[in-house]
Amino acid sequence: MAVTVKIQKWGNSQGIRIPKNIIDILDWDDTEVVEMSAQDGNLIIKPHKRKTIEELFANYDGTYEKETIDWGDPVGKEIW
């Protein structure tokens, strides 16, 4: 489905509105976080997928050693 929309001034930026029928087709709502990129003269908008801890460390080949950190004496009203 293709629709025509106008780029409009929005503060110091420009913006486009995504029509409701496209939002419904994509099953998005107003809390959706998206990634935008430009490729070969096209704007690509896709949902942002937060990586799991496993994905973040998938290529990590180092070793992990637990260490104790000395944060110093309490200052102010901290409770230790």
Residue by residue, DSSP assigns the chain as -------EEETTEEE-PPPHHHHHHHT--TT--EEEEEETTEEEEEE--PPPHHHHTTT--S----------S--SS---
Which residues does the chain have with pLDDT short of 70? Answer: 80
pLDDT 10s digits, 36-59: 999 999 999 999 988 899 988 888
Residue 79 forms part of a structural domain: no
Residue 74 forms part of a structural domain: no
Residue 62 forms part of a structural domain: no
Tell me what pLDDT residue 16 has: 94
Residues contacting 74, CB < 8 A, separation 6+: 80
**C-alpha–C-alpha distance, residues 1 and 18, integer Å:** 12
Domain of residue 52 covers 7-57
Tell me what pLDDT residue 71 has: 84
Tell me what pLDDT residue 62 has: 84
Count: domains in the chain: 1
Percent of the chain with pLDDT over 70: 99
The verdict on pTM exceeding 0.85 is no
Residue 13 forms part of a structural domain: yes
Residue 68 forms part of a structural domain: no
